[in-house]
Structure 1
Amino acid sequence: MASSPTSSQATNEDPTGPISSASQATLTITPHNAEARLAFSEVADWVIERSQGGQDDEKDQARTQASNFMWTSPRHIRDAEVGTLIAQIRTGYLSSSSPSSSFSLYDNPKTISSPADTAEAQSAVGKYIRTGSYFVDLTHPPTNVFRGWIAGRRTSSGSPDEFVLCLENTALLGIRQHHALFQVHQTGRIALRKLSDRGIVEVDGDALQPREVRVLNKHSSFVRLGQLKYEVAYSRFSMTEEHTAILGRYIQTLYRQPSPPDLSFTPTPAAGNTIQVGQWTLTTAGTVGTGGEGRVSVGVNNVGEVVALKRISVSKNGFAPKRRQCTLETLTHLADTANNDRIVRLREVITDDPKANNASADMWPRLVLTVIVSLLEALDFLHSNGWIHGDIKPPNIGVHHWDPEKASVVLLDIEDAIHAPQGYALPLPGCTGTVGWLSPERELQQFNFSTDVWAVGVTALWMLHGRHPWQLSINPWRRGQEFENKRQLFHRQYEDVTGWIANSNPKAMGKAILQMIRHPFAHTEEQRSQRPGCREILNILRALDGKREVTDGPPSKRSRTDMQ
């Protein structure tokens, strides 16, 4: 008989897969800590129970309601952390005013000589639990659309909550009857609201006050409800045009609008590192306007206010920006006094220099520069030891520290790195890397370390432009007519991007990016030239940064790679 996998073993089960009950989910709420995983498992066990002879119709109705908003894996997982948690409760290390009946499934604690032995034995055995997620699905709205999806503990009377987080009132979990509320915000994001005066609600470690609303502006966040911790993430389906249409109609109904709203400026947050400017999180709409004085992006804050952020490079003579700021402040005061919504209003001015006397106060290129330098240093270490990462993209770049002066990055997902002791590797179409980040030669011919440099260049464009520079669902640089038909579209997008770089970026950074995205099939001779390695690009960027060049000596230790 095959044993069930442990919680540390990866499974192929996908809560938002095409045949899942959550296939059209907007948001998933996945138990993260042992307390949340145990509570979810107990709720899942309760949901699948059925009353005998129809004598408990009210409970069956509550179970059906709860099952509409949770996806459960068809198999049990052995979870050592949950086993340790149960052992600690049984031995008095943790207290629970109403311990779960499922604890009786374990050995009699009297056979264990000490609390430490109990925890050790229980951890070794583990606890078989059901795993899964709660989810928000706009095609299956809550009982009260205008109220939203309520999360709390199981109720004995009244309307049940959509998300049943636990079964009993226990001090160990700290979940109120109606603890928190999830609702669709007018921006198209999901908002979280704290309902109880006494319950704990935190988003990424930031505690919410009673009735406070927090809009979830990142692709994924960690949410704490009582002592239960969850990873809350937007789904793949939420990135599709089909979902955007459903979302628009839902908002139209919810907020009684005459027509669906335009959500193009506040698309669903994408995976990867978000850019935060003061209180504002930049959306993935990218640069929505350009002019002689700067570029305009869209930002959203924690309460869902949407603003246009205009980035202006400040010269040594900062008089012109100060004059514009003074004009905007005057007009904002007039508009506020007259309660006139037809004049744009200034919310705030953000600068990376309190004295506003630096040569260039536009922080975006500076932030990009520090991260790209740190990333190239990490890759230089890999390349120097005969390895190609092969899948550089924002989700595989962890940022420990990020400010305009320096950054510290960690390369993730390096277990699939390619060993290339001779300095090159052979193509394996469709087997490695990610479409959109593969260098053109990668799936056509022999490639070398510079394939990673290409991906760094695309990452730099993604950071500067706010979106991927070329949106193609398949790699046009693969053999076969189906792929070759897409190459002309790629060339057009590529040439648009190279033109944008030449006109919009600091000279040295633009030069570095153009060299990083060279490829052998480009239309211009310059872009067909050989793509440089990490150290050559670092020397260009170091010149921009006013630092010494990288020599052929040992690679820099400023950045590091961790096996994740």
Structure 2
Amino acid sequence: MASPADTVILDDNELDQFALLRPWNIEACLAFSDIIERIINNDPLLHHHRQFIEYESMRVPLQQAMSISRQLNNSGEFENSFDTETETESDWGNKSEGDRGQRDVYVWTGGYVLSLGCLPHLPSIGWQVGSGRWKVGTTNLDPCGGVDILLTGDSRRAAVRGIHARMAFNRQTGLLMLQARHSEPYGVRLDNESFALQSRSLNARSSIVRFGKLEYIFAYTVQPNSGSEKLFQLQKQKFFREHLQAPPPIEATSATPSQNDLVLGNWTLKRAVGRGAFGTVLAATHRNGAVVAFKTFMRYDSRSDRFAQLEIAAAEQLKPFLLEFDRKRHIIRLEEVIYQRGRREYDGSGPENIWMLYSPLARGTFQNHILERDSNTINETVRAILFKQVLEGLDCLHAHGWVHRDIKPLNLGVVSIEPPKAVILDIGSVALLEPGEVGFRPRPGAYGTVSYLAPEMELATYHAPVDIWALGLVAHEIFLGSHPWKLAVNPWRTDKNRYYTQYLNIYTDTIQKLRSAGSGTIHDLIAKMLAWEPRARISSRSALEHPCLRGISTGDANWTPSSPLAGSKRPRD
């Protein structure tokens, strides 16, 4: 037998290795060993594929190879244990005489390595998996057969197509996706689910994957919340930037799956997500690749249950309206409610978690994306698009009688920057103004945030203009660089604020300065949004038609940075 000395055997501990695919059944073990034999014998067709393979320096009996593959500890990591006292021992008793004869077969053991230090042939496509496609007998010889992960040289026997599947990162979420390229019987199975011509996310610490007749165990080798995880995420960001021409993926969903992630049916909930530039985001991923935000309630008595049910009822009441009218998806939407004990009714038997799943998932808010970051980071055009999208969301609500009642930077989400995509968050305070009603009665302290309260909200009947006032203050912050009056108490209540007259003067001066910038500017729009009398306040529809926003396109397709808003504060050089 040829010596493997001239073959590169990869180090298990390399930081750029993030996952390993190892044979799990007999057919896969034999197919893998045949590939190693070809590599050792310097098959010129396998020059590319050998980069993605690691193997042990000695062959072992096939039964022992099966035992090695199935030695997984509780964290989903591979152990190089040669203990043969496993469940596979009994498996052999169920095999045919010919299969039991394979006890005497010696095979190479190891697996396929996924690494950002050794990229696939076409990085923008991902790691292609299959038996390869070569144009034999022609001068146009494909150097790698179109695949990176070469599973077998006998496609018919293994029921594996030339390009059977691929593994690639989702450009938005950073999730590693497994895509089946063919229909049955050449599909793919992930754990207990078979699928064809579709994708599934590899969002568990380890999974069983089947291609045709070949079965493997896929496992992440990067430890969550470790130094290697931080390095891997930095490498992934570089990969996205250089090879996918995409911004960094969503931090929460891009994190390597952990044993601490909570699995509920087809959803995987991230229990602890790191705090970074985008703030803390709680995310859930579905097996089909969908991602949502989730909110957790703990109910432990009738009072806490009533609080949770009020928010659930409000979100459920709003959902049919959003499905019909919010076609641009500028308002967060309830997708599913999961009860820990499976019942909506509280049984009183002790604490119980309730998970509310919302989409789309925002990677941050106006607060931490715009106000708490260097103004050079988010340019004027992007801020204008995000702001106009929020206005479009408000206009959708207001046109049908809904009022948000708690607009502020923390409740305005940023789904993406390239292209800009904003979403209105926290719909727990949203309410519908019924036909014939002129407004909502004031309930001081019940709704809204002090610094963004319109003058009438805690003093008189109010309706949609309170949202316009609050968004006008947000506009003052994101375009002009400051909030004109930020207080811990409502500045417009004489019974709560002894400096009412002083702040009224501040308000008057602010409006005068805004108006002095001239019509057609962002200053002019903000002044109209902050009109004292609700009837004089500009509506969301009219605000969208204001000259300073008229040329701002909010569509996702082919967006390009354009000229800044007239009168807005320019980023520092």
TM-score (norm 1): 0.48
Instruction: Pick the structure with greater CA Rg.
Output: 2
TM-score (norm 2): 0.47
